[in-house]
């Protein structure tokens, strides 16, 4: 047994890569449809809050991520835009990440087209502006100064929907789907908290522990954590998107990593030398 674990602990890491690859690929090729998905409290809270907004409420959505985090954050962004469109809310989308500008536009345009929403009346895409924190602080004073034109180079003053949206505080709800900084915490610290704007959002799995602070303090009305959160939101929205389809891979991958950690620790305890033995 000892020899077996010694061999296991010295295993070439390419075997681990292969195992991870298989664990992630199998559910893509043959979906397992594992049961158990249920909306967690922060996701349910966000859904309930949006459901409670009256028609025509103004919502700001900032897609603060780049292509690297697209698989994790795009599904939740799409689900929220879809929900807003379904509820006939006025959506203003933007991004603080230059490499995310096209991604955000695609998500908004595709969901808006599917919902039959009209540009300039039901939704607007402002695009990207450099400055990070400066953009947020500027939007607190005057959005039309920070973004004189939208992504289509139309003057904001000529867009019907933007006539009564001048400042951050004009929004009934703001979102940030963030892969890092600037992101959700930046929006909370420099925008939402200062202007008393309700804030919701989502983040990648690695950022979920950091965001738990804001969920617990009530600074977020709701929160979508990683792909699982997005899958929960899709469940509430009654559709099966890329997040739901990705859950099987997440499950097998997580179980594999957990099994590897447990095996490595059993091996460590079985093969370790007593103190004082060289």
Residue 261, CA distances (Å) to 43, 124, 233, 268 in order:
30, 47, 30, 10
Using rule CB under 8 A, residue 160 touches another protein = no
Least separation in angstroms between CB 53 and another protein: 26
**3-class DSSP string for 224-256:** EEHHHHHHHHHHHCCCCCHHHHHHHHHHHHHHH
Let me know: does 46 contact 224? Beta carbons within 8 Å: yes
Report residue 6: phi and psi, to 5°.
-60, -40
- Rounded Cα gap, residues 196 and 168, in angstroms: 9
Using rule CB under 8 A, residue 137 touches another protein = yes
Least separation in angstroms between CB 159 and another protein: 19
- Rounded Cα gap, residues 48 and 233, in angstroms: 11
Let me know: does 234 contact 244? Beta carbons within 8 Å: yes
Residues 98-127 within binding reach of another protein (CB under 8 A) = 99, 102-103, 105
Q: Which range, of 51-59, 75-83, 97-105, 115-123, touches another protein by CB under 8 A?
A: 97-105
* Number of residues counted as binding another protein (CB under 8 A): 61
Q: Which range, of 43-51, 67-75, 80-88, 111-119, touches another protein by CB under 8 A?
A: 67-75
Q: Which is nearer to another protein, 114 or 266 (CB)?
A: 266
Interface with another protein by CB under 8 A: which residues? 13, 16-17, 19-21, 24, 34-38, 40-41, 66-71, 99, 102-103, 105, 130-135, 137-138, 141-142, 145, 208-210, 212-213, 215-216, 228, 231, 247, 250-251, 253-258, 260-265, 268-269
């Amino acid at each position: 047994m000892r020899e077996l674990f010694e061999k296991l602990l010295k295993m070439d890491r390419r075997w681990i890569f292969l195992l991870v690859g298989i664990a992630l690929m199998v559910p893509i090729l043959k979906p397992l449809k594992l049961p158990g998905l249920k909306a967690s409290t922060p996701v349910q809270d966000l859904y309930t809050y949006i459901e409670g907004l009256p028609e025509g409420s103004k919502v700001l959505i900032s897609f603060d991520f780049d292509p690297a985090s697209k698989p994790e954050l795009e599904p939740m962004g799409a689900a929220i835009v879809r929900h807003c469109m379904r509820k006939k809310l006025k959506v203003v989308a933007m991004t603080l990440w230059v490499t995310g500008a096209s991604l955000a536009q695609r998500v908004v345009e595709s969901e808006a087209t599917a919902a039959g929403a009209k540009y300039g009346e039901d939704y607007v895409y402002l695009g990207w502006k450099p400055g990070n924190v400066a953009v947020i602080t500027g939007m607190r004073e005057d959005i039309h100064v920070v973004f004189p034109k939208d992504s289509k180079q139309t003057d904001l003053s000529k867009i019907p929907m933007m006539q009564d949206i001048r400042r951050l505080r004009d929004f009934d709800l703001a979102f940030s789907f963030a892969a890092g900084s600037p992101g959700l915490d930046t929006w909370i610290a420099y925008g939402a908290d200062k202007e008393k704007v309700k804030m919701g959002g989502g983040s990648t799995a690695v950022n979920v522990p950091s965001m738990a602070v804001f969920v617990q303090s009530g600074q977020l009305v709701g929160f979508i954590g990683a792909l699982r959160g997005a899958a929960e939101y899709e469940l509430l929205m009654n559709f099966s998107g890329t997040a739901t389809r990705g859950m099987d891979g997440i499950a097998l991958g997580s179980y594999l990593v957990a099994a590897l950690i447990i095996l490595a620790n059993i091996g460590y305890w079985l093969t370790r030398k007593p103190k004082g033995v060289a």
